[in-house]
A = this chain, B = another copy of it.
Amino acid sequence: MQKGQLIFIGLGLYDETDLSVKAIQEIKTCDFVYAEFYTSSLMGTTKDRIEHIIGKPIQLLSREETENNENILKRAENEAVAFLVGGDPMTATTHLDLRLSAIKRGIPTRIIHSSSIVTAVPGLLGLQNYKFGRTTTLAYPEKNYFPVSPYHIIKENKERGLHTLVLLDIQAEKKRYMTANEGLQLLLQMEQKVEEKIINDTTVACVVARAGSKNPFLRADTIKSLQSIDFGPPLHTIVIPGNLHFMELEALVTIAGLPNKIAETMQKP
């Protein structure tokens, strides 16, 4: 085995059993295991349970420790290091930055892939992946900070008949996970700000809660109706559908409880 190396390993969607056999085999060959849970969080497990299934201790890294990656790189120069992240690795710029820094130092890197919200949510809802446009993320607004770019991305996709996957802010350090209700409220606020008539409370949206769990909660309805629903524990994800193929529409009715009355109005002639 090479002396030093850095292996980015995806933990998948929800709990420790989403780890692949390959991921566990790779981790067993590693001398040291880091993990960061702030760019993506596995809600169905704990650090202890992941350590139990991989049979090794994990050093959990904060945002700062991940971004100031000198210690990780120093170690990876001489040891086989595993870097665990939720979902499929390399979605966060920080991971790419770490990988490029490693390569520049001559440290071999590899990626072990895993399940991701990006394909799981369309699959759960019965929406076709190739009909999705650009993905967007809703961030918690802050004083003098209320980005409306997600609104424009939804508009751009809708104009092309494409669905939009809307990921919701994760502030793991604060144990703060944006709910679908908060996300839908933000979209309505963006409408009030931008006023291009893309979203109102009769707009149909889809919500998926706890993708990857044994019983994910799915619901498609008007934003007004969705806002009154308690979707339960995080993570939540929103999809704003574009034009629906008849089978996709049937899926939203059959799988996500879209009321027939609304489905009829969405049926293409």
Contacts and interface: CB of A to CB of B under 8 A. Distances in A.
A19 B17 contact: no
Nearest to A214: B110
A20 B12 contact: yes
A175 to B, nearest CB: 24
A192 interface: no
Contact of A88 (B53, B110, B120, B255): B120
Contacts of A123: 88-91, 111, 113
Contacts of A1: none
A99 B90 CA distance: 31
Interface string A223-249: 000000000000000000000000110
Contacts of A135: 129-130, 132
Contact of A96 (B10, B132, B251): B251
A126 to B, nearest CB: 5
A254 interface: yes
A179 interface: no
Q: Which 9 A-B pairs have the closest CB atoms?
A: A90-B123, A113-B115, A17-B22, A88-B119, A17-B21, A116-B119, A113-B120, A130-B135, A96-B126
Nearest to A10: B115
B251 A100 contact: yes
B130 A100 contact: no
Given A96-B251, A103-B255, A126 B17 contact: no
A114 B254 CA distance: 23
A133 B163 CA distance: 11
Interface in A78-120: 87-91, 93, 96-97, 99-100, 103-104, 110-111, 113-116, 118-120
Interface in A1-35: 10, 12-13, 15-22, 24-25
A47 interface: no
A182 to B, nearest CB: 20
Contacts of A255: 99-100, 103
A254 B103 contact: yes
B130 A132 contact: no
A254 B100 contact: yes
A124 interface: yes
Nearest to A101: B254
B13 A113 contact: yes
A250 B91 contact: no
A191 interface: no
Contact of A126 (B90, B129, B134): B90
